[in-house]
Amino acid sequence: MGRRYDPERRQRIIEAALRVAGEKGIAGLSHRTVAAAADVPLGSTTYHFKTLDDLLVAALREANEVFARLVREREVLRDPDADLAAELAALLGEWAARGREGLELEYELYLAALRRPALRPVAAEWCEGIGEVLRERTDPGTARGLMALMDGICLQALLTGGEYDEVYTRDMLRRLLVNSGRPADC
């Protein structure tokens, strides 16, 4: 019997890796658990992803794309007349509205880069993507501060079990913008 043509297999494996990591954490992720979740032979996972780090890189890149898509679709972030603090707070609200499990998984993958050097460039892609948009509206130091503040607020909500607070986020982002010497509505 010849090999079955399955052009979607690689993507199904990535999606299965995200599901497995979401249910069991990164520690529960293996080629075997992903193959079972994707309903593919074990050899398929190792064919497409030689190492577990290769699979994690693909999963993190997929998770990053969700947020990048939200940023790209929110063209108002590039509008010099738009309230940047309000738009960023609303953007995080849209991201948080997808559900706690998805956010936990994305941060777990993102923070895994601390111990897995192969993930660091992909984690940096997330920072660069949002940083590029923010640097169009403010200086590089303020853009970096905005990203750190947004990350911190999201992590605090996840760690404490709290809800995302858009009003608080908007106010804190405004404070940072005002203290950077930029107008509050920049």
pLDDT band at residue 89 using 50, 70 and 90 as cut-offs: very high
CATH H-level superfamily of 52-179: Tetracycline Repressor, domain 2 (1.10.357.10)
84, 173 Cβ separation under 8 angstroms: yes
Q: What is the pLDDT, as a whole number, of residue 183?
A: 52
Residue 82, judged by CB atoms within 10 A of its CB (0-12, 13-18, 19+), counts as middle
- pLDDT score of 27 more than 70: yes
Q: Distances from the Cα of 129 to the Cαs of 53, 65, 72, 86, 166, in angstroms?
A: 22, 10, 9, 19, 22
Domain boundaries of the chain, sorted by first residue: 1-50, 52-179
Tokens for 117, please give them: 């050097």
pTM tops 0.95: no
23, 11 Cβ separation under 8 angstroms: no
pLDDT band at residue 1 using 50, 70 and 90 as cut-offs: very low
Fold of 1-50: Arc Repressor Mutant, subunit A (1.10.10)
Q: In whole numbers, what is the pLDDT of the chain averaged over residues?
A: 88
d(CA 143, CA 141): 5
- pLDDT score of 2 more than 50: no
- pLDDT score of 75 more than 70: yes
